[in-house]
Chain A
Amino acid sequence: MSSRQLAMVIDLNKCIGCQTCTLACKSQWTDRDGREFMYWNHVESKPGKGYPRDWENAGGGWESGAGAAGSGGDKLKPGRLPRLEEDYGIPADFNYDAALFQEGEQPLRPMQPMQWGPNWEEDQGAGEFPNGYFFYLPRLCNHCTKPACLAACPRQAISKREEDGIVLIDPSRCRGYRYCVAACPYKKIYFNPLAGRSEKCIFCYPRVEKGIPQACAYQCVGRARHVSWLDDKAGAAWRLVHEWKVALPLHPEHGTQPNVYYVPPLSTATFDAEGKPTGTPRIPADYLVSLFGPGVQAALDTLRREIARKEKGEASELMDLLIAYRHGDMFRLDRLGSQP
């Protein structure tokens, strides 16, 4: 545990899947130096195999970590290293010159065949028409309170910063053994083949230290991301996670105690055989439980109850918080935020 923790809440109802966050991160950090294939932040459509492909079945995390609030054990689970072409996807270049400035019918194509990518299953989801469903799941390093990557590193290159809980890999110590990659149950650490070491989301600490929120959060056009100190009772993270309990960690069963939280997605009703709405949300409840744990039902109930208040013209503090009237108010990075 660090003495303080900077946390992020991503509202999946406000995410529109536009990928602006993905590209904000890319141009801020991963468009160079062997990171081209990496997406420290990406958005995948759920349900699906996700990115890297099948990450949810690639191991990692803590053994016997299925307890409440993810209070995992102390033994790391084995994990699988994703493959470059099949699981991450090659950062393809395109034959602009041949297709556009040379003779012939050669179409514009990736110069290396693309097999997968960070958004490969865009809007696919699951179900059958007209009851198909999908939603967007933005993912980045969870800057876990109990990081499996940190524990797995044989070089002690990974640390969790005392002052803000940001988990970092020391590039001068890392030797690229990739135990961290396998240990992360979210597969959010990437091996940089050019530098010969591992890298991952740094929670934009160089920005945060200057009072500029993370690129993915600040540039989120859907205004889906809140950032605040987890112990700041006026901050969105504390209020949504602890006070309203509508923001939940992803796959808490891995026991790493993530510090990125999600407001789970509402959905329109399914249709019965006659085409009449049933009143049952089209995203199956058990699927959401599998992602966000058993608290998801109560969270959705709370959201629906508070929306109903607004429908009736009543006040709702929760809804006002999620609406976020001022973009700037979604980020409380000030270190003077109230202590518990």
Chain B
Amino acid sequence: MTVTRNYVPEMCVFILASMAVSPIAAQEEQVNFGRQIRPLLAEKCFACHGLDSETRETEFRMDTRDGLFAPLDSGGVAIVPGDLETSVIYQRLITDDEDAHMPPVDTEKQFSKNEIDLVRRWIKQGAEWQQHWAWVAPERPQLADAASHNAIDFFVQGRLKKEGLKTSSEANRVTLIRRVTFDLTGLPPTAGEIDNFLADKSSNAYETVVNRLLKSPHYGEQMGRYWLDAARYGDTHGLHLDNFREMWPYRDWVINAFNKNMSFDQFTIEQLAGDLLPDATVDQQVATGFNRCNVTTSEGGAINEEYHAHYTVDRVATISTVWMGVSMGCVVCHDHKFDPYQMKDFYQLYAFFNSLDGPVMDGNKKDTAPVLKIASDAQQAEMADLNHLIAELSKTTTAPNVTVDQAQAEWEKQLQTNVISEPEWVVLSPETSTSSGGATLTRQEDESILVSGENPAKEVYEFIAQVESKGLTAVRVEGLLHPSLTAGGAGRSSNSNVVLSEFEAEVASTVEPDKWEKIKFTKAWADHEPPDGNFKIGNTIDGKAETGWAVGGHQRKEDRTAIFVADAPFGHEEGTRLKLRLRHESIYSQHQFGRIRLAVTDAAEIPQIGSETVPAKIADLLKIEPKKRSDEQQNTIRDHYRNTVSTDETLIQNRTDLAAKRKRQTELDKSLPTTLVWKELAEPKPAHILIRGAYDKKGDLVYRNTPAALPPLAPLGEGETPTRLHLAQWLVAPDHPLTSRVTVNRFWQQYFGVGIVQTTEDFGSQGSPPSHPELLDWLAVDFQENGWDVKRLQKQIVMSSTYRQSSQVPQDPQDLRSLDPDNRLLSRGPRFRFDAEMIRDNALSLSGLLIDRIGGPSVKPYQPPGIWFAVAYTDSDTAKFKRDSGEALYRRSMYTFWKRTAPPPTMVTFDAPSRETCSVRRSRTNTPLAALALMNDEQFVEASRGIGQRIMTESGSTDEDRAEFAFRLVTARRPSNAELAVVLKVYRTSLAAYVTNEKAAQKLLAVGDSTADSSLKASQLAAWTMVANMLLNLDETITKG
């Protein structure tokens, strides 16, 4: 399973020797401190003589200019420019004395001879010191002859010239249009597009193509796809249950942002702080989903504070990587050993992202708050319509109506004597819910607790909840229906019935949370009791496990309510803690509730269930003499009467209509997709340094600020606290040394496979130095100065001659370009394998199966059975994969549902990341598993047949015509005679086999959901399908040439 490259060994050693220093040999020229010396010192010395005060062995520091050039405590000076004899560092490097030798002889990281020689030459040449290049804001380098050159070509060619190498000629037009079409849209060019380009003799023919592609809606998909790796976008939470998370509106936002060419500074601001923009639009809030893409958990037993810290660390690390190319991973626990970042810097950034107004535990639900509902235009229209209708209908309720008013007066009169007010119930939201039988208890949106998993014969649920009220008088227990329970009822037994044997409660104050006192209940009422009298509600407070209350769930599927009245008011001034226990310990196995909701009240009088009551508020109003009531009070009573009591037919009709509309309103509202967004807590949480990164070891309090080694935040107003908006603006401020460099570098990587800085994620001293530092700076400054115009930058790159070069690798060992084996100097055009998504999208597009609609929810195309189930938590809502059908099978791969603990297998085989963490650089491997996927995955086999059909229906009728058409369709170019011969040979051999075995042909053609064109001869179509299968597997087909 290897990537092989053919070089003669001697050549290799030569290249290696120079590579350790810089990408290309730099024999006797001036040694560059930043590129050649600092990385050595950082690698081998900073661990003990760097920024991290904890591991610093002595006060002597080598990461600062002062350290290197000031007198040492032990005498002498570390570096004396020009003088090797008195430069202590040099002497310690070359000494034979084991005790004096540096680095200490027993450490791994020693200097090689070459490296010592570099240090020697650097000191000799005057020991010039520079700050690490990436910490200094870029300045636009001069172009010698700006007029005649694309700046990219100027710098690339300048460097090649210096190394004695030359460029390659321009790629042929077919290669070029295929390359640029894939790069800008992720899809292949159509035959028509190729022909148009070949026929266009105008001087700007290529530019015409580029302009067309930049306007394609698929441009946004292609650019967005890379961004989603960085944003760690996924369709599940990523940890533990790894349930569904609804997040795709954020993905749509990304695609749209690229398509409308949102400037990169705005793109940054909206994602990091869209919610803080004045009058933030829905779109701007959706953008803040970037900071909600991190993996989350709701694992039973997980500790909130710990995961709160994990999430926040992930956000800081992601933003540091994506915008600043800084590896902050190590700064979580200690000061950076190589780069100028301290723990304090990290936790100051942390302070910007630790105040999300939402729960830490994701609740295993798709829409963990804060979320936004997203309505389409049609949905918005319907909602407006409903609102209007409801308002109209409500008018009827309030319209003058003498008859009804008279009836109301009667009703009031009757009530004067006996008003029973409905108690106001406060629904409890338990902080812990336990099952004696190991069942899984999950809190629902309506605060009910849903039970799943283990289902023992006997079961005791215990809930602990906190309420502010005191003087409580009763507890209400509701047993609610749920589709996941037996027959959609309220119970977990096989017949859906429930027997509650005992109900118990204890109370404690929040001051002494463990001092529980039993609550005595004297009365209990239920909304239903079995008529035989054996299972009355009173049995639940009789202290006997054998007796109980049965709900009759085997006969009726209804929500059940029971009320327990205490003998005396309970609760505490300081805050009340309640422990409520539902015992199901009768002889009836598994007769337990499956969904429970709890509530308490402080109402003085608790009416029996079913008594005619009026809401407390109305009851109070009714006590006021009619003449003394305000208009508002009078209206409240009137509305209550007309909405619930009146028997007037018009009103009843009106009520029914209103209820229907309201129901539709709720349904519609529920059907709206949600997306996770950022909303800041009203009061930001304090942030502390976490000692060694441990959530429970809080160090110094820190305040929002940016790293000391980078430019400061723009001055704030008096008393103003920095916000994410300030931070986002800081990232895109002109003096920020990193954002624009890191961004142009990442775009560059898309085209050339490697960034100008190879370590896209690390621009620090441990990252690789830029191959073309001046070009990087030029592009970075130019990008900023032109309004962070993303499309302009893409065009700049693809218009360059550098990009348009032929990608042929020189085969003559005498060719100097072979000194550039990895094409780091760009002596030829880019050639590398497509990303996973492009490989699949290409096959779909060529086969004519592709549904190229933009955006929308994720889809589940073909996937072998059992991939999710093999690893998933059995109760996860993504444990069982259910494949979609129809169009969903043929959408672009960026819409494939991404379960993060078991991502789509073919995507992963072709190196797509799991999306659990931020990824700005994919590996490109070449394995037999990839070969198997591309040959045998149902998706590709079906696509092969699609191509086979196109071969037979869209080209001439001779085998030769068809073979040529097939080859050109897939590779975009015409085959050579030799190639044509191979295609024909494969076709004819396959055909011969399928003619004698028609059944096999039929089987092959039946693969996939779409049906084969039955008007075509099966043996022929099968043979062409095999040809297409071969062509889809060509190295050339899955490679950008």
Report if A and B associate in a common complex.
no
